[in-house]
């Protein structure tokens, strides 16, 4: 028989950094400081993975421990050779900015690894406070809400509550023999269709409502569709208004939609994943008139509130609606004093402490700094629109941007196929690396689609974007 291990002589766990803990933390801090400094200015070109790095990323599973400092350097090299949305001229899709204090909050939250599925004491109170702050920032009278992994989960959460209100008992008996529909703009995000698929409503029962001349949901068309469906015995589950479409940044007329839905008793959800923070900005607040009258909303703080991913939120007017849709009793989930746990009002069980990054950012910087940064992005979008509109070789949409997405097209004389040319121009700009943009198909035509959601971006970056698009576009025009 082997000798028993003497008391007090246990070795440190193999998964602990042990004596290297402080060195590793200091080294990581230096890498982070370098990254933050690097994000202050735009790069002259993109960084691509080197041959040596690609070789490392093909290595098999390591069986023996490595050197923590060297491996941290390797991790930093991978990040540096990746597309970083935090850079000031990353204008593709709808990027996030990686707010510094948000990154620190993530380090703290992940170090403590708190789970907000059940009551987590002070962390639960902080999340509730952050929901209240976000509600006040946006101007929506929420009584409950939670932080989620993204806009898709936030939308699904709200629409599950809407389904249960419209068709009580659906969560128990399912959607069998129940005719129902959801309504959204023809340019709504695909997550709405995905929610209909997952909630048993079905994608074929998502009514894509036509848009008006500014690409906003047509309220006249919505009312006609609601009338036709209710007359046919189809239950309207919810109308989803978009506050900032992904394609062009259009904001549906929230007040008019709320008026229409009130007459039908239909839930109004606002998908504001991208654009809703602009409700707090003075110059764009009027676009969101009526927000205070909707039933629920989703907003991604990791988009236009600048904190690192993932930090979305769903807010509801009535906490009871979430409880009706999600609450349950299981032997492994205690309910002290009949109080609800987070799992009784949310979709997720394992819930990281996402609220901390927004809470800390608001405490450190104050709400006005966020309003000012959003205003800055709105000005940058309008500047790009003005520059492109005034340039003979560029085409813009027939109206100024509602938010911070600015579709433009390079249409110089001598390029017979402008769509092929703009596709090639987008790829060439991405390869060039001075400005990173993405394409978009609008009414069957290819556009460049810059989007401004970064507090680091400047008006000089806007002018560089125009210069680079013109320079590269002119250079490749003869290739098509």
Q: What is the pLDDT of residue 330?
A: 66
Q: What average pLDDT does the segment 207-228 reach?
A: 98
Work out the average pLDDT over 268-294: 98
Q: How far is the C-alpha of 308 from the C-alpha of 301, rounded, in Å?
A: 8
Q: What is the structure's pLDDT at 170? A: 96
**What CATH number does the domain located at 368-479 have?**
3.90.1150.170
Top-confidence residue, 327 or 75? 75
Q: What is residue 208's predicted lDDT score, i.e. its pLDDT?
A: 98
pLDDT at position 338: 61
476: exposed, middle or buried (Cβ count in 10 Å: 0-12, 13-18, 19+): middle
pLDDT score at 44: 86
In this prediction, residues 309-334 reach a mean pLDDT of: 88
Which residues lie below 8 Å from residue 174, measured CB to CB, with a gap of 6+? Answer: 200
pTM for the complete prediction? 0.95
Nearest-angstrom CA–CA distance, 20 and 71: 13
The whole-angstrom separation of Cα 15 and Cα 70 is: 17
Burial class of 123 by CB neighbour count within 10 A (0 to 12, 13 to 18, 19+): middle
CA distance between the termini of the chain: 81
Token pair 């309504």 is at which residue?
183
**Residue 167, SS3 per DSSP:** coil
pLDDT digits (tens, 9 = 90+) for 369-379: 999 999 999 99
CATH classification for the domain delimited by 114-364, as one of 3.40.640.10, 3.20.20.70, 3.40.50.10490, 2.40.50.100: 3.40.640.10
What pLDDT does 12 receive?
62
**pLDDT for 431:** 94
Which pLDDT tens digit goes with each residue over 352-364?
Answer: 999 999 999 999 9
Using a pLDDT cut of 90, give the percent of the chain over it: 87
% of the chain beyond a pLDDT of 70: 95
335 has pLDDT over 80 = no
Domain ranges of the chain: 114-364, 368-479
pLDDT tens per residue, range 388-425:
999 999 999 999 999 999 999 999 998 889 999 999 99
For residue range 81-129, what is the model confidence (pLDDT) as tens digits?
Answer: 999 899 999 999 998 899 999 999 999 999 999 999 888 999 999 999 9
Predicted confidence (pLDDT) at residue 3 exceeds the cutoff of 80: no
Give me the mean pLDDT over the 423-428 stretch: 97
User: Which two tokens mark 128?
Assistant: 């509730």
pLDDT at 11 over 70: no
The predicted-structure confidence for 144-194, as pLDDT tens digits, reads as follows 999 999 999 999 999 999 999 999 999 999 999 899 999 999 999 999 999
> Mean pLDDT across the chain, nearest whole number?
94
What mean pLDDT comes out for the span 472-479? 87
Average of per-residue pLDDT across 23-38 = 97
Confidence of residue 47 (pLDDT cuts 50, 70, 90): confident
Whether pLDDT at 244 is above 70: yes
**How far, rounded to the nearest angstrom, does the alpha carbon of residue 250 sit from its chain's CA centroid?**
16
- For the residues of 315-339, what is the DSSP string, one character each? EES-HHHHHHHH---BTTB--GGGP
Angle between helices 190-198 and 151-166 (to 10 degrees): 50
């Amino acid at each position: 028989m082997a000798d028993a291990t003497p008391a007090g002589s246990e070795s440190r766990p193999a998964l602990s950094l042990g004596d290297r803990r402080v060195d590793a933390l200091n080294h990581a801090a230096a890498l982070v400081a370098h990254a933050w400094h690097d994000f202050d200015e735009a790069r002259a070109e993109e960084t691509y993975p080197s041959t040596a790095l690609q070789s490392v990323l093909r290595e098999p599973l390591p069986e023996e421990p490595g050197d923590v400092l060297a491996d941290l350097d390797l991790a930093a090299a991978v990040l540096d050779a990746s597309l970083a949305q935090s850079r000031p001229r990353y204008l593709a899709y709808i990027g996030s900015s990686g707010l510094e204090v948000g990154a620190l909050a993530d380090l703290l939250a992940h170090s403590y690894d708190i789970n907000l599925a059940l009551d987590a004491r002070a962390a639960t109170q902080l999340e509730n406070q952050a929901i209240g702050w976000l509600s006040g920032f946006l101007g929506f009278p929420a009584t409950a809400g939670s932080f989620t992994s993204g806009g898709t989960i936030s939308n699904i959460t709200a629409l599950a509550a809407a389904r249960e209100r419209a068709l009580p008992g659906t969560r128990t008996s399912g959607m069998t023999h129940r005719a129902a529909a959801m309504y959204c703009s023809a340019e709504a995000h695909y997550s709405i269709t995905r929610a209909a698929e997952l909630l048993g409503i079905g994608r074929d029962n998502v009514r894509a409502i036509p848009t008006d001349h500014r690409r906003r949901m047509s309220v006249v068309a919505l009312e006609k569709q609601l009338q036709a469906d209710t007359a046919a015995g189809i239950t309207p589950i919810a109308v989803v208004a978009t506050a900032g479409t992904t394609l062009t940044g259009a904001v549906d007329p929230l007040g008019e939609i709320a008026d229409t839905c009130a007459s039908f008793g239909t839930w109004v959800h606002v998908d504001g994943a991208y654009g809703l923070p602009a409700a707090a900005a003075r110059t764009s607040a009027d676009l969101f008139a009526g927000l205070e009258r909707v039933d629920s909303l989703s907003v991604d703080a990791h988009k236009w509130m600048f904190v690192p991913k993932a930090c979305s939120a769903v807010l509801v007017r009535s906490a009871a609606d979430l409880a009706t849709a999600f609450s349950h009793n299981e032997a492994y989930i205690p309910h002290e004093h009949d109080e609800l746990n987070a799992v009784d009002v949310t979709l997720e069980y394992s819930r990281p402490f996402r609220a901390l990054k927004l809470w800390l950012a608001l405490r450190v910087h104050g709400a006005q700094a966020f309003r000012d940064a959003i205003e800055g992005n709105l000005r940058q979008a309008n500047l790009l629109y003005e520059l492109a509109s005034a340039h003979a070789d560029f085409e813009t949409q027939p109206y100024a941007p509602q938010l911070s997405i600015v579709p433009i097209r390079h249409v110089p004389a001598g390029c017979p196929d402008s769509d092929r040319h703009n596709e090639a121009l987008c790829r060439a700009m991405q390869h060039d690396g001075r400005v990173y943009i993405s394409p978009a198909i609008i009414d069957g035509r290819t556009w460049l689609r810059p989007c401004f959601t970064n507090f680091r971006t400047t008006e000089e970056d806007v002018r560089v974007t125009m210069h680079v698009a013109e320079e590269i576009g002119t250079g490749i025009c003869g290739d098509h």
